[in-house]
Amino acid sequence: MPAALVSDTAPRSPAIAARDLTSDLSLSGLELRQLLDLAADVKRHPTRYASALRHRYLSLLFEKPSLRTRLTFELAIKQLGGDAVSSIGPIGDREPTKDIARNLDRWTNAIVARTFLQSTIDELAEWSSVPVINALSDLYHPCQSFADLQTLEERFGGLGGLKLTFVGDGNNVAHSLMINGARSGMHVCVACPPGYEPNSAIVDQSTLFARESGGSITVTQDPLAGVSGAHAVYTDVWTSMGQEAEASERMKIFAGFTVNSRLMSAASANAIFLHCLPAKRGQEVTGEVIESAQSAVFDQAENRLHAQKALLLMLLS
């Protein structure tokens, strides 16, 4: 009997109960698992989903410059059969944010916003009748963390029991990694200088998730101890957009938190290096590490496309 042919018809995508993705907390643990499974299938079988969101359109609102986030959302909706329009600049300056939301929801099927403040995301969601997706705020970067977890699963075959150490500023990327890593049974450690710890409420929430999943959350001021035995070492720029006035002071404070070969040698023998990009070589990471065989930064960047396709399918299909 001939082998069965693989169908090019996209399977029914699981749905997200929440109307919006304002933060990682908009997803349940089960929905996160479903998103990662769907992202893997989308990556393996892109043609199955080529028309899944035909005639669906995104509004992209970007207060901050972007390469990966903006282009991967544009490509994601187009490769799923839809399209996108974009606006770059401050949100709420020329007209109230609530009016922007009520214009865009008449024209498009979802709003993707990359903002300085989480409150801007929340206000858009309050006034929009279509889904609002947090493409980055000062508190969360959920779409990045979905791609990060997908990359870790590809490298290690699963997430439960893995140790991931984030070295540097306890910022939005660290917050999302703690939440989603804890839900996935991972041991997430954040190593940062005093005064630059992650948001305490997010640490507490992530700790509760970790207790349920068998993972753990640790915050330390010792990067070498934090990296010890890690399966993945992650870092981000020391000065994010909007913090430029602090750059000189941060350079001094974070001087001992560069991810270099010495730090990587304390990690597991098969450890990988992760970075959300763009990277400042010679500051938070050395060129030797980011260009090494351990580096998975471009796998992460690629997976932004697949994870965001999965997110759009779950919200819009």
Catalytic residues: 114, 141, 144, 236, 276, 304
Which spans in 91-198 are helix H?
97-107, 118-127, 142-156, 172-183
- Locus of tokens 């500023």: 169
Long-range contacts of 97-106 (CB under 8 A, 24+ apart): 97/123, 97/124, 97/127, 98/123, 98/126, 98/127, 100/61, 100/124, 101/125, 101/126, 101/127, 101/128, 101/132, 102/127, 102/128, 104/59, 104/61, 104/128, 104/130, 105/129, 105/130
- Using CA atoms, how far apart are residues 246 and 27, in angstroms rounded to an integer? 34
| Count of other CB atoms within 10 angstroms of residue 162 | 23
Among left, alpha and beta (phi > 0; psi -120 to 50; other), residue 229 is left
